[in-house]
Chain A
Amino acid sequence: MSNDALMVKARNVHKRFGHLEVLNGINLEVALGQVVCVIGPSGSGKSTFLRCINHLEKIDAGTIKVDGELVGYRQRGERLFELSEREVAERRRAIGMVFQHFNLFPHMTALENVMEGPVQVLRRPKEEVRRRAREILGQVGLSDKEANYPSQLSGGQQQRVAIARALAMQPKLMLFDEPTSALDPELVGDVLGVMRKLAESGMTMIVVTHEIGFAREVGDKLIFMDGGVIVEEGNPREVLSNPSHDRTRSFLSKVL
């Protein structure tokens, strides 16, 4: 595989919170259009790693490149310098993120939530953005909910609005942090359905999830993290049916 087909390239990423080593040398490559699912016990650093990818957290060592560009830093010689607030914001445009607790803007309707990025950040004309936002809401199955505020939507509907809000920025990469963990079981399917469609359309995705079925059927690669390192990675079916590490086996025996 040639280097320029890589959407994400993380090399030896380290992250500490005080004395706590949360990421302990993560190496990961995600190809264009690939869907990578990340599993692992609570506290293993999955969220932290996702947040490092769009620079919501600073990293202490290593590099993360998205679409060939360093995220949050500029390299001069051997040293890395943090980008300005404006430059960081610019690079985040291309990276969509979906959170466990949706984090929709509660004072805006579903449609306004989806329009906020393109209007405020990309400065696109409102009418054009509105048309496009309605299309995206249609794609996630929420055409009839555009005028509702988040508090008037179910969890599954809120999460689909959140996905639409990220998609409105036309990202090259989508990050999902346990997108269905806060949902009632009967609502999980709708959200996973939207994500599956997105994967089929060719979106590059990194998905932290406990939905083993989704990882098996949609994922191109499965990663098992524990203690701030990637313990095992590979084809989802192989890893799930025949894990090569004890830690993976004991984790899978608990969640399957």
Chain B
Amino acid sequence: MVAIAVLVAMAAHAVLTNQRFNWSLEGQYFLSAQILHGVSVTLELTVASMAIGVVLGVVLAIMRLSPNPVVSGSAWVYVWGFRGTPLLVQLLLWANLGALFPTLGLGVPFGPEFVTRQTFTLIPGVIAALLGLGLNEAAYMSEIVRAGILSVGEGQVEAAASIGMRRMSIMRRIVLPQAMRVIVPPTGNETISMLKSTSLVAYVPYVELLFATQNIYTRNYQVMPMLIMASIWYLLITSVLMVGQFYIERHYARGAMRALPPTPMQKLRARAAQLNSAIR
């Protein structure tokens, strides 16, 4: 314990006193308008893409479990395609869709078109980013949701059916809430992974945290300090996400455990009470 603490302290000392890390510069940019804008775009992209991923993932998971082979087959093909190609390639494909279909039209199939649009005006960076991140995420989420659904015993479905519930409401009221215990932890990982994946959007290109950081270091040549500053932001947001995950997991543990695990605040209070009684 002591040895580790000493090593950590030495490393921290080395990093903090090294002039080349240029901590004052990082402090100066950390809350600058450009970086804050990048941070907020990164957050928005993370939330919106995860929302698309979760909703579409649930739909795909239910499709995968359908008795109809056409329905389950198309869900399988979706997962196969979106999981089997790199995310960066998918993002670039969406961004450059204009090259493939220069115009998109609305009209009679194979007949005259009433409305015709240039694709590049239809697919601006933000849409390409959301499509790329969200549709890719849906493939992963569908596997997570499917595992969650399969973890709920068949007896639950039968009990619900025996009181006259229908398939979709059994899914919504009985199966998915129980599946959440299995779904939430990996979804937390997915969200953190999504936060980091949004940096790929810098190549769409669309201005998020990494792009904003690159904008700054191409002007002041302080590549390392700026990248470290961006990393600190990513770490900070990840930490907040982890706290959120703890409370969500606790919420869905209801009924599954006899007593819920204590929150950190509750632990702290219990410690304080112990100390108190020990002193007296």
Contacts and interface: CB of A to CB of B under 8 A. Distances in A.
B178 A99 contact: no
Given A101-B155, A120-B169, A106 B162 contact: no
B159 A120 contact: no
B159 A54 contact: no
A93 B162 CA distance: 7
B100 interface: no
Contacts of A228: none
A216 to B, nearest CB: 28
Range, interface on chain B: 20 to 34
Interface stretch (A13-21, A132-140, A147-155, A234-242): A147-155
B174 interface: yes
Range, interface on chain A: 20 to 34
Contacts of A165: 159, 163
Contacts of A109: 255
A168 B165 CA distance: 13
Interface in A115-166: 116-117, 120-121, 149-152, 162, 165-166
A95 interface: yes
Contact of B163 (A56, A92, A149, A150): A92
B173 interface: yes
Contacts of A12: none
A107 to B, nearest CB: 4
A90 B164 contact: yes
B117 interface: no
B13 interface: no
B178 A120 contact: no
Nearest to B257: A151
A4 interface: no
B166 A89 contact: yes
B164 A103 contact: no
A95 B1 CA distance: 64
A116 B156 CA distance: 13
B177 interface: yes
B40 to A, nearest CB: 36
A99 B177 contact: no
A212 interface: no
B149 to A, nearest CB: 14
A166 B173 CA distance: 17
Interface of B: 153, 155-156, 158-167, 169, 173-174, 177-178, 252, 254-258
13 contacts: A85-B167, A89-B161, A89-B165, A93-B163, A96-B163, A103-B153, A106-B255, A107-B177, A116-B160, A116-B173, A117-B163, A165-B163, A166-B162
